[in-house]
């Protein structure tokens, strides 16, 4: 499968190949180690303990790595340098449009989750810096509605406005270090056991029901979500061999799995059933070590938010070019770019302030991300079998795996959608 096809040679000409394997690994890890890290201890509690949570994580990891491998293979077959381009090229324009719609909704909800995380950390930071402020009613100047809106206008909006974003490599390192520091804090705090923490956490002896284990899948999908960037990363690598891509993607996800497992396990062991959906919200506001973790994680999220917005804006601009070709406005021009950026920030800010709990956002994102991790890669693998000269036995095995991937993704999406609907009633 690593032989050069005409399509793969076209891919080489379209995409600059300047990314090393190490750089590709850092970008994948940065994409995966995001706000989902804060939610993993709560997911362990929802699963009913360490054993069922680890089992769900390991089963998911097989499909997560498989999805990355399929996307690299599909990119080489289709010759397209973007995720939605690969789906459109292999599966047809209808599924390509569905992919674009899911892409926009998913990135929009990820932006909401980022803002929600930033707002929660700002609230705890205000409690630390202004210890005399009453908890209820909170003064207007420490309320999330004011602090998060001010930060969005003064910091996030200017960072998101430029045509190009050139600091991805720096945020990759920053995001990874912030995630490692957070994991270290949670592990160390468990053994030191500060007096302000819960002294006797209550642990669920078993899952409340067998269906509750499945509620963890959306959180796992959200946490390990780096598949949207996989095609772009693969097409930018200097060495575009599937064996190299398999090594990079597997090692990256294994490192992420270690970080997520330590965070989830020790956060759950520290707080038990009392753990918050955002693990940092479980620590007291006066804990200096936790405050540093909050600041680092918030800064990391603030710098990653413009990249998510940038990706979403590119999809909107592509749709503008195709559907509004007669419009005199240039979709990449200053006016349209500022309008799209301002609208994106305003919509995500309003949703972040209205949604009461991070877990609700995570559930929605995890359901939508099943399209990018399971469904679209499975469909691409099935469609790629029609254009690739493979043996009948290997082709049948790959088609079967593609069907299985689609079925698993459909189940996760359906389960998370039903759970989201039930939350409304």
Residue 199 has pLDDT above 70, yes or no: no
**Residue of 8 and 146 predicted with greater confidence:** 146
> What is the pLDDT averaged over residues 93-120?
87
Percentage of residues in the chain having pLDDT higher than 90: 18
User: What is the per-residue pLDDT across 209-232, written as a single tens digit (0 to 9) for each?
Assistant: 556 667 778 778 878 888 888 888
Q: What is the mean pLDDT of residues 166-175?
A: 60
- Look up residue 26 and give its two tokens: 């850092």
- Answer whether residue 91 shows pLDDT above 70: yes
Q: Between 165 and 132, where is the model more confident?
A: 132
- Per mean pLDDT, which range of 15-19, 253-257, 416-420 is the poorest? 15-19
Residue 263, strand partner residues: none
Average pLDDT over residues 300-304: 79
Residues 6+ apart with CB under 8 A from 102: 368, 371, 372
Alpha helices (H) along 324-370: 334-354, 358-370
Closest CA to 155 of 124, 114, 123, 109: 114
Q: Which candidate, 255, 185, 209, 225, places its Cα nearest to that of 41?
A: 185
Chain length of the chain: 425
Matching residue, tokens 């990135």: 107
- Determine the pLDDT at residue 345: 93
Q: Is the pLDDT of residue 258 over 90?
A: yes
Whole-angstrom distance, CA of residue 361 vs CA of residue 352? 9
- Angle at which helix 6-14 crosses helix 50-78, to 10 degrees, equals 100
Highest mean pLDDT among 268-272, 275-279, 302-306, 339-343: 339-343
Res. 329: pLDDT tops 70: no
C-alpha distances out from residue 48 to 111, 210, 279, Å: 29, 10, 17
Between CA 135 and CA 127 the distance in angstroms is 8
Residue 3's pLDDT is: 39
Residue 403 pLDDT greater than 90, yes or no = yes
Task: Return the bridge partners of 237, or none.
Answer: 19
Answer whether 150's CB lies under 8 Å from 125's CB.
Answer: no
Q: Cis peptide before 137, with omega less than 30 degrees from 0?
A: yes
Residue 143: how many CB atoms within 10 A of its CB? 17
| Average pLDDT value for residue range 64-72 | 93
Supply the pLDDT for residue 9: 40
Q: What pLDDT sits at residue 381?
A: 93
Is 90 exceeded by the pLDDT of residue 180? no
Average pLDDT over the chain reads 80
**Of 29, 98, 401, which is closest to residue 248 (Cα–Cα)?**
29
Say yes or no to pLDDT of 392 above 70.
yes
Q: What is the rounded (10 degree) CA torsion for 332, 334, 337, 340?
A: -140
Mean of the pLDDT values across residues 356-363? 66
Mean pLDDT for the stretch of residues 144-150: 88
Report the C-alpha gap between 377 and 382 in whole angstroms: 9
Q: How far apart are CA 343 and CA 106, in angstroms?
A: 16
Q: Say whether pLDDT at 168 is over 70.
A: no
Q: 180 versus 347: which is more confidently predicted?
A: 347
Residue 137 has pLDDT above 50, yes or no: yes
Within a 10 A sphere around the Cβ of 120, how many other Cβ atoms? 22
pLDDT at 320: 76
In the chain, % of residues over pLDDT 70: 80
DSSP state of 328: S
**Global pTM?**
0.80
Place of tokens 């029609």: 386
Helix ranges, 355-391 (H): 358-370, 376-384
Whether the predicted pLDDT of 141 surpasses 80: no
> Do the Cβ atoms of 126 and 151 come closer than 8 Å?
no
Residue 273: the pLDDT is: 79
| The two three-digit tokens of residue 33, written as one number | 């180690």
Whether 143 and 300 have beta carbons less than 8 Å apart is answered as no
Whole-angstrom distance, CA of residue 226 vs CA of residue 253: 9
Residue 152 CA to its chain's centroid (Å): 20
Name the one residue in this structure whose structure tokens are 């509004």: 324
CA distance 228 to 248: 16
Q: What pairs with residue 19 in β-bridges?
A: 237
Per-residue model confidence (pLDDT) at position 136: 62
Looking at residue 215, the DSSP 8-state letter turns out to be T
The closest alpha carbon to 40, from 284, 220, 256, belongs to 220
Choice between 416 and 116, residue whose per-residue pLDDT is larger: 116
Mean pLDDT, rounded, for 381-396: 86
List helix spans (H) across 166-209.
168-192
Q: Which of 147, 152, 104 is nearest to 302 (CA)?
A: 152
Mean local confidence (pLDDT), 365-393: 86
**What is the rounded distance in angstroms from the CA atom of residue 268 to the CA atom of residue 22?**
32
> pLDDT-based confidence at 50, cuts 50/70/90?
confident
> Are residues 270 and 198 in contact, defined by beta-carbon separation less than 8 angstroms?
yes
- pLDDT band with cut points at 50, 70 and 90 for residue 325: low
Residue with tokens 């909006």: 157
Is pLDDT of 207 > 60?
A: no
């Amino acid at each position: 499968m690593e032989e050069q096809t005409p399509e793969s040679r076209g891919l080489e000409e379209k995409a600059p190949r300047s990314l090393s394997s190490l750089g590709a690994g850092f970008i994948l890890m940065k994409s995966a180690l995001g706000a989902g890290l804060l939610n993993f201890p709560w997911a362990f509690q929802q699963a009913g303990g360490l054993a069922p949570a680890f089992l769900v994580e390991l089963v998911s990891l097989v499909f997560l790595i498989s999805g990355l491998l399929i996307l690299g293979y599909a990119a080489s077959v289709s010759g397209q340098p973007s995720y939605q381009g690969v789906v459109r090229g292999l599966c047809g324009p209808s599924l390509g449009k569905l992919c674009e719609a899911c892409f926009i909704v998913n990135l929009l909800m990820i932006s909401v989750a980022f803002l929600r995380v930033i707002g929660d950390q700002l609230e705890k930071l205000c409690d630390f810096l202004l210890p005399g402020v009453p908890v209820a009613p909170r003064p207007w100047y420490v309320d999330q509605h004011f602090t998060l809106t001010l930060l969005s206008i003064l910091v996030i909006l200017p960072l998101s406005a430029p045509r190009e974003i050139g600091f991805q490599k720096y945020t990759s390192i920053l995001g990874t270090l912030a995630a490692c520091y957070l994991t270290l804090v949670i592990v160390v705090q468990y053994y030191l056991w500060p007096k302000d923490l819960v002294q006797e956490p209550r642990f669920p002896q078993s899952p409340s029901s067998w269906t509750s284990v499945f509620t963890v899948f959306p959180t796992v999908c959200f946490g390990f979500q780096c598949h949207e960037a996989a095609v772009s990363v693969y097409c930018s690598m200097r060495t575009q061999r599937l064996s190299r891509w398999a090594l990079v993607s597997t090692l990256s996800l294994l490192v992420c799995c270690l970080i997520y497992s330590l965070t989830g396990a020790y956060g759950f062991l520290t707080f038990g059933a009392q753990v918050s959906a955002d693990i940092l919200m479980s620590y007291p506001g006066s804990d200096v070590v936790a405050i540093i973790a909050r600041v680092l994680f918030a800064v990391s999220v603030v710098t990653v938010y413009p990249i998510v917005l940038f990706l979403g804006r590119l999809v909107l601009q592509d749709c503008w070019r195709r559907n509004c070709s007669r419009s005199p406005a240039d979709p990449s021009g200053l006016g349209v770019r500022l309008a799209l950026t301002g609208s994106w920030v305003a919509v995500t800010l309003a949703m972040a302030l209205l949604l009461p709990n991070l877990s609700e956002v995570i559930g929605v994102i995890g359901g939508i991300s099943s399209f990018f991790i399971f469904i679209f890669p499975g469909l691409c693998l099935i469609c790629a079998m029609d254009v690739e000269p493979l043996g009948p036995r290997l082709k049948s095995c790959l088609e079967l795996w593609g069907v299985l991937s689609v079925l698993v993704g459909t189940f996760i999406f359906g389960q998370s959608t039903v759970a989201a609907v039930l939350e409304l009633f």
